[in-house]
Each structure stands twice: as C-alpha cells, then as structure tokens.
Amino acid sequence: MSVFKKWSKAIEDRDADALFDCLHEDFEFVRHQSGTSMNKVEMTNMMRSMLSNEAVVSSVNRCLYENDEVLVMHSIVKFPDGTAESILRCSLLFDGKIIKSETGATPLSKLD
C-alpha cells in the first residue's frame, strides 16, 4: 500500500496510531505558520488532538504525486472556529515512511 493510501485511511478513520506508523523515526515537520519544526512525537500529539476533535474535518484529500522518494498531497481542512485552509503538503520519503514534511496553507472563506 502506498504511503498516501495509508495516510489517507488513517485520516479517514481518525486513527492517530496509524498516522504515527507512517512517520520515520527521524521525522521532521516544518510548520508553515512559524517555520519552526516538530519531531515525530510532537507531530503525533498534534494529530491525535486534531483527530479527536470532530469539528476538525479534512476533506478533498488528493495525491498529486508519489514515488519512492516524495509524496505531494492536497487537502482542505476545516477548523472548529469555522475557518478552513487549503493545504499543500510535500513529504520526503525514506524506507517507505515520511521523514520530512513541509506545508503551505491558503486561508479559505469560512465554510458551512
């Protein structure tokens, strides 16, 4: 199964442990808001919090490109305050897992 399919299924199932399994031990996430980075544990804790909140909804999850080295995904994420972002994520892959991710996000009009 591709990394994208595993990641998407975990998002759909709201399964933080399955997301954790997609991440390499040396994982680094570069936050688009601040340029700071998060490691695997920090990222998993953030995702666990988001997935446990039914008001956070990820939709239109698409794989734009994937091979053994890179995965490019797009999604729309709606947040509890009614805001939404169009998120483009570029991830580097190593040994079949995500080792580094960076995102770009575009705020969207409030969605119903």
- Which CATH number goes with the domain that contains 41? 3.10.450.50
Flag whether pLDDT at 33 surpasses 90. no
Q: What is the domain extent for residue 90?
A: 3-108
Angstrom distance (rounded) from CA 100 to CA 15: 20
pLDDT of residue 68: 97
pLDDT of residue 35: 79
Which pTM value belongs to this model? 0.89
Domain count, the chain: 1
Q: Where does residue 71 rank: exposed (0-12), middle (13-18), buried (19+ CB within 10 A)?
A: buried
